[in-house]
């Protein structure tokens, strides 16, 4: 059995900060299962690989017998986390948030043992009486909140900051009070919020949580934080062949960070970049979908991208083939997602093929007879076989 000191060294070996210094070791020395908290706001339907960096750390705590408290932020999502934002975030509807929240636990199960977690929704306590909100608001000053880098920058640039946004860090901090958190995990962009949780716990007479922050995973562009809004993400439920192909688009310089943060091992210097990237893609797809899916995704990439052939199995799309022509940008958007404008740009760039024949900007409207039974290809890896209704 490891000593508290050894356990603390292991659990913090790949973190950015563990605050206060020595705090985690002291908590581990109490000899009881710690309550380790992570909050996820369901502002999008998908969890991506960037989220799994923190989930993998949670799994390490879970494997050592600690209690994982996963908070679905169905109330905080109504505000929207302003961390890193240069402007006020558009608010989602309650229906959108609830629909997203229903998918999160299953997706977290790609990494965590969800049967052994304590699942909470912060609507259970944040739908509070006004008197309780007054008490929470009294724990923190506006000056403290404006110390946050993003708030300070927006305030200096005279960009609007809503009172609702100022409440967000307090709401996240109160989550720690509600679940009596011993440890809270998050990315480095969450450091202010996590430390505020300690102060709010103290104001409510609770022991203060330890804060553990993880590095931020860069997206497939190798530069910016992974984000669905930047289209540089890989979702944990993304099709295996799509996840495989998107991983191979990662710049060589970003591979070492992905190996460390997603696989927990260093990138071997003796391996050629091409081979290392394929090994990374196989490992990630296996982690998310299993070994069989990883092998099939590798074979799919070789057939479609390397050999330039169509996949063996192609999903069918039924389209309405009434009189007249079919507007191709609308059909592309329906088949592969995205907007009609994005589809038009793809056509203009020569990125759309029909039965292997390249299409262009002139091919906006196509006879349904030409589409029926044909294979529509967008980019190098996306295919649909078209069937007329």
For residue range 299-332, list pLDDT tens digits in order: 988 888 777 777 777 888 898 877 788 999 999 9
Domains of the chain (ranges, CATH numbers) = 4-214 (3.40.50.620), 238-306 (no CATH), 316-388 (3.10.290.10)
Regions of the chain with pLDDT less than 50: 85-88
Strand 17-19 to 210-214 pairing: antiparallel
DSSP state at residue 324: S
User: Rounded CA gap, 360 and 53, in Å?
Assistant: 41
For 30-43, the pLDDT digits (tens) are 999 999 999 988 87
User: Rounded CA gap, 28 and 37, in Å?
Assistant: 15
* Cβ atoms within 10 Å of 76's Cβ, excluding its own: 26
User: What's the confidence (pLDDT) of residue 87?
Assistant: 45
CA 237 to chain centroid = 11
User: What's the confidence (pLDDT) of residue 80?
Assistant: 63
Strand 365-366 to 326-327 pairing: antiparallel
Beta bridge partners of 40: 72
User: Rounded CA gap, 187 and 166, in Å?
Assistant: 20
Q: Note the helical H segments in 302-353.
A: 328-336, 340-348
Residue 133: CB partners within 8 Å, gap ≥ 6?
Answer: none
User: What's the confidence (pLDDT) of residue 33?
Assistant: 97
User: What's the confidence (pLDDT) of residue 86?
Assistant: 44
pTM: predicted TM-score of the whole model, two decimal places: 0.78
Nearest alpha carbon to residue 246 among 269, 268, 226? 226
At 260, list the tokens: 């460390």
User: What's the confidence (pLDDT) of residue 10?
Assistant: 95
Q: Note the helical H segments in the chain.
A: 4-11, 23-28, 49-63, 94-108, 123-126, 130-137, 142-145, 149-156, 163-179, 191-203, 240-248, 255-258, 273-289, 291-301, 328-336, 340-348, 368-371
């Amino acid at each position: 059995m490891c000593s508290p000191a050894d356990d603390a060294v292991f659990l913090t070996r790949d973190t950015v900060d563990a605050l206060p210094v020595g705090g985690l070791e002291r908590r581990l020395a109490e000899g009881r299962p710690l309550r380790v908290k992570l909050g996820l706001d369901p502002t999008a339907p998908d969890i991506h690989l960037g989220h799994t960096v923190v989930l993998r750390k949670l799994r390490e705590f879970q494997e050592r017998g600690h209690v994982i408290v996963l908070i679905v932020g169905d109330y905080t999502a109504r505000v929207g986390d302003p961390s890193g934002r240069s402007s006020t975030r558009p608010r989602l509807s309650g229906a959108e948030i609830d629909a997203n929240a229903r998918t999160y636990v299953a997706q977290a199960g790609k990494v965590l043992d969800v049967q052994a977690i304590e699942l909470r929704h912060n609507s259970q306590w944040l739908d509070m009486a006004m008197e309780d909100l007054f008490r929470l608001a009294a724990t923190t000053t506006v000056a403290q909140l404006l110390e946050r880098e993003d708030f300070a920058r927006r305030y200096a640039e005279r960009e609007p900051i809503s009172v609702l946004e100022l409440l967000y860090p307090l709401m996240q901090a109160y989550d720690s009070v509600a679940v009596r958190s011993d440890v809270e995990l998050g990315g480095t962009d969450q450091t202010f919020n996590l430390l505020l949780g300690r102060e709010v716990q103290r104001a409510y007479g609770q022991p203060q949580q330890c804060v553990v922050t993880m590095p931020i995973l860069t997206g497939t562009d190798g530069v910016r934080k992974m984000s669905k809004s930047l289209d540089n993400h890989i979702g944990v439920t993304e099709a295996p062949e799509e996840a495989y192909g998107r991983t191979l688009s990662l710049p060589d310089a970003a591979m070492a960070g992905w190996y460390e943060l997603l696989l927990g091992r260093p990138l071997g210097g003796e391996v050629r970049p091409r081979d290392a990237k394929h090994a990374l893609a196989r490992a990630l797809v296996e982690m998310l979908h299993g070994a069989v899916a990883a092998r099939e995704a590798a074979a799919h990439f070789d057939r479609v991208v390397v050999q330039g052939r169509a996949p063996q199995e192609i999903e069918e799309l039924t389209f309405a083939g009434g009189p007249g022509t079919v507007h191709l940008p609308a059909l592309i958007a329906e088949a592969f997602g995205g907007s009609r404008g994005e589809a038009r740009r793809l056509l203009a760039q020569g990125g759309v093929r029909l039965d292997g024949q390249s299409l262009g900007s002139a091919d906006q409207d196509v006879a349904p007879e030409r589409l029926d039974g044909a294979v529509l290809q967008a980019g190098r890896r996306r295919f649909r076989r078209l069937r007329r209704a």
